[in-house]
Structure 1
Amino acid sequence: MSVKLQSITLGDKPILENLFQLYLYEMSKSVGFDISEAGTFDYDPDIVEAYFNKSQHHPYFIISNGKLAGFALVRNYPDTTDLLDMGQFFVLGSFMRQGVGRAAFDLCLKAHTGRWQVRVLPDNVAAQKFWKRTVSELTDDTYTMDSLDYQGKEMIFLSFAS
């Protein structure tokens, strides 16, 4: 299995926006997002837009064996320039449980070394399992986990260094 990260260009933004709908669909299974009357999930477009107009935002497609498998949106955490944050991370269902997500995250850690955090909604149990296992493996179990507020929502934060 071959996994690589491919930088997302402004011309690729519509592809990311399409994948973002699939990401929200997957999350809706555990956190109950509602679909709009237009048949899409509403979200703040600035979430995606920031990755094309803020210097410390790094959008990547995840490519597995030459096929688009998802995305990883890495950024510096707001107001904390020395803390890297996995803004959003998504692997298509057909690539799950094959090591694609772990390999892609490992590539993110190698591309952006330093202090890191990953945030997960408490109701997203599948994502919690993935992140705990993946972070534990990639950091030799040297991470901390806290429940903190993020923009008015409780989230689970996994913090570590790469």
Structure 2
Amino acid sequence: MKKYRRTGLGKSVAKDIFRLHKGNWEVFQILKNVPAQLFWKNVINEYTDGQFTEQFKDGKRISQEFVS
């Protein structure tokens, strides 16, 4: 929802979910949704201290893999 963008709420909720559900994760984004790609890369990078891998298709980021 637009009114919650850039408030940190999405990042906080995502990190809570990662903490609650330990294990292997793969988070996908739609190829054309560049804001989502950047959001998830930043959230996962912060959560994992950079310990994740990314998958690309046609030069665009489509997913991240990590262990929580």
Q: TM-score, normalised by structure 1?
A: 0.38
Gaps of 5+ in 2: none
In structure 2, the partner of 1:138 is 47
The Cα shift of 1:147 comes to: 2.8
Alignment of 1:1-162 (within 5 A): 92-147=1-56, 156-162=62-68
Higher helix content, 1 or 2: 2
Q: Which has the higher strand share?
A: 1
Q: Which has the higher contact order (CA 8 A, sep 6+)?
A: 2
Q: SS of the residue aligned with 1:132?
A: helix
- Amino acid across the alignment from 1:111: L
**What is the CA–CA distance in structure 1 between the aligned matches of 2:29 and 2:22, rounded to whole Å?**
21
2 CA distance for matches of 1:98 and 1:132? Answer: 17
Cα shift at 1:121: 1.3
Instruction: Structure 1 unaligned segments of length 5 or more: list them.
Output: 1-91, 149-154
Distance between the aligned counterparts of 1:95 and 1:144, measured in 2?
Answer: 28
Q: Tell me, what secondary structure is at the counterpart of 1:141? A: coil
**What do residues 116-154 of structure 1 show as CA deviations (whole Å, max 9, x unaligned)?**
010011210010110011100000011100136xxxxxx
Which structure has the bigger radius of gyration?
Answer: 1
Question: Identity, % of aligned pairs?
Answer: 32
